[in-house]
Amino acid sequence: MESKATTGIVRMSARKVRLVADEVRGYVFPEAADTLKNMPQAAAGVILKTLKSAAANAKLMSPELDESDLYVKKIFVDAGTSWKRFIARSRGKGDRILRRTCRVTVVLSDE
């Protein structure tokens, strides 16, 4: 049985979040949660929240399921919309700033 959780607009670039996501792919749920709790990156908190949500979804679908049986089957980070902003420069000019966002998806399985 698979359970899935998605976090919508995360205010970090997908590249930075993917570095953390690659660390826990394939881990058992308790081990992945412990690893994320001890990581200094800000993206670890976002992925941990999504991971716990997927575990709660699995528990809801199958109440007799033990969380230690779950493992991270898939975890992927897609680029979201980029917020376009401008910053003032000399001589009345402006430079464009792209504030990047991403979407995090975690799939847990017990098979």
Whole-model pTM: value is: 0.89
Cβ 71 vs Cβ 106: under 8 Å: no
Question: Which pLDDT score is estimated for 12?
Answer: 95
> Tokens 């979804």 correspond to what residue?
57
Q: How confident is the model at residue 111 (pLDDT cuts 50, 70, 90)?
A: confident
The yes/no answer on whether domain 2-6+14-77+104-109 falls in CATH 3.90.470.10 is yes
Cβ 79 vs Cβ 105: under 8 Å: no
Tell me the C-alpha to C-alpha distance, in Å, between residue 64 and each of 3, 6, 58, 108.
Answer: 14, 23, 10, 16
Phi and psi, residue 45, nearest 5°: -65, -40
Please report, for the chain, the start and end positions of each structural domain, with discontinuous segments joined by +.
2-6+14-77+104-109
CA 35 to CA 29: how far, in whole Å? Answer: 10
Both tokens of residue 107?
């799939």
Residues 26-65 have pLDDT tens digits of 999 999 999 999 999 999 999 999 999 999 999 999 999 9
The share of the chain scoring above pLDDT 70, in percent, equals: 100
Sign, CA torsion 103/17/44/33 = positive
